[in-house]
Amino acid sequence: MERVVVAVALAAAILAVAGMLRRRRPEAPTQARWDVPAQLDRRDFDGADVPWLLAVFTSATCASCAEALAKAAPLASADVVVQEVEADARADLHERYRIEAVPMIVIADDEGVVQASFVGPPGATDLWAAVAEVRGAGSSHDPGLGRSGR
């Protein structure tokens, strides 16, 4: 009987120490947020006279960049230019706009003001809805898609 009492006490002590250690565990480290340019000089990109630009910043070594570009490409039209900005081919633009994460899709208006963006490969529906929303407010079921803080 004495062994049972000692075993129960030992188990209780172990559980108490484990509980204390769990509560003392530090918070998860702050996750990096990548800066998205707020303004682009449309003369740096194809179709400066086209009302909307989807600049797709990519890298040849990025596995998900081709996926992001494939989702953006069907949006090209007379009013929307879709341009891939690959890191090696256009290092000047990656440096100028301080692009540190790819894929990054930036949706800019005719003045170069960034209206929406995605860091990482977006869902096709989300990207297409964000473009529709910036082109005509109220056209999306979720008008905040691609906006800061999302």
* Residues 35-71: tens digit of each pLDDT: 999 999 999 999 999 999 999 999 999 989 999 999 9
Q: Which CATH class is domain 42-135?
A: alpha beta
SS (HEC) of 23-44:
HCCCCCCCCCCCCCCCECCHHH
What pLDDT is stored for residue 145 in this prediction? 47
Higher per-residue confidence, 146 vs 122: 122
Q: What is the pTM of this model?
A: 0.72
The residues spanned by each domain of the chain are 42-135
Higher per-residue confidence, 2 vs 50: 50
DSSP code per residue over 68-119? HHHHHGGG-SSSEEEEEEETTTTHHHHHHTT--SSSEEEEE-TT-BEEEEEE
Residue 139 has pLDDT above 60, yes or no: no
d(CA 20, CA 16) in angstroms, rounded, equals 6
Give the confidence band of 149 by pLDDT, cuts at 50, 70, 90. Answer: very low
